[in-house]
Amino acid sequence: MTTAVILLILAAIAAAFPWLIRIGFRAPRVVEQGSPRQYGLACQEVSIPTENGKRLFAWFIPSSSSNSAPAVAVLHGWGGNAEMMLPLALPLQQAGYAVLLLDARNHGRSDSDNFSSLPRFAEDLEHALDWLALQPGVDASRLIALGHSVGAGAALLVASQRHDLAAVVSIAAFADPESMMRRFLAAHHIPYFPLGRYVLHYVQHAIGHRFNDIAPRHTIRQISCPVLLVHGRDDSTVPVDDALSIYAQRPGDRVRLLILAGNHDSTHEAERHAGDLVDFLDQATGQKTGIS
């Protein structure tokens, strides 16, 4: 094999490598099979505009209250969809909250885009919150962001950038994207030097953000509203130490940590502790005292 041929092969591999990374980290798309109606919840299917001219699929569940109600925008994790977060909708709606369950881009029934990332999840959540604020029966001064896994990281990122949220609920957030990706690479037997290091560098370049800037253990410091950190004690995808790391960086006494039994998909476990969730939100929004 001549030197020229070898150089051509290497050039082809280098050109294909970014494409291979995008394919390797592409989120699986799981389309909803059910709906909130299975839980006896009246809902509207809505389409919300987001970045790059794309649209998000969502279910809007009005509050059970006749008054102007606080509202929760609920965002799933990587490879998830709105249906996977449905267990939380019933206790929230019964407690007087309006609920918006949305699909991020490239997930569920939302539009496709060229890639997904934590910042793009955050963009979608931003647009969902802005849409919620305009709905009749919603108190725009009492908006809440709730997310799972990457969606939780997005909720914390959004709350660090805007100061009109009443509360944030983070379920199973990782402390920082770099550690999460290094665990992924190790699980797939990809050596950090030199291949893994290049992958992390490329991903930061592709998403347009340094991992440190969007890491929950850093964004938590910039959040002024009450935060509830929920994590499964037996989480093997994102160890509970990540929750402790985020909690350790809290800016004050408005951050609570709730460690439950269960693994990474702790939505059903959180449903069983819905009373704790609702109590936290009632205190944050004034529902319990009647303060608005």
pLDDT in tens, 90-124: 999 999 999 999 999 999 999 999 999 999 999 99
Average pLDDT rounded to a whole number, residues 210-225: 96
| R_g of the chain, CA atoms, integer Å | 20
Please name the residues in contact with 61: beta carbons below 8 A apart, sequence gap of 6 or more: 36, 41, 42, 43, 89, 93, 98, 99, 100, 101
Return the number of other C-beta atoms located less than 10 Å from residue 177's C-beta. 25
CA angle 284, 118, 264 (to 5 degrees): 70
Higher pLDDT, 291 or 235: 235
> Is the confidence at residue 248, as pLDDT, over 50?
yes
Q: What is the pLDDT of residue 200?
A: 84
| CATH class name, domain 41-176+215-285 | alpha beta
Give the closest residue to 170 by CA, choosing from 113, 115, 235, 90.
235
Q: What is the pLDDT of residue 262?
A: 85
Q: What is the pLDDT of residue 182?
A: 86
Average pLDDT rounded to a whole number, residues 215-239: 95
Confidence of residue 21 (pLDDT cuts 50, 70, 90): low
pTM of full prediction above 0.85: yes
Average pLDDT rounded to a whole number, residues 56-85: 94
Q: What is the pLDDT of residue 3?
A: 56
Name the strands in the sheet holding 165-171, side by side, starting at the edge strand that comes first in the sequence: 44-49, 55-61, 98-102, 69-75, 138-148, 165-171, 227-232, 255-260
What is the average pLDDT value for the chain, to the nearest integer? 88
Average pLDDT rounded to a whole number, residues 236-258: 95
- Retrieve residue 128's tokens: 């969902």
Average pLDDT rounded to a whole number, residues 249-270: 85
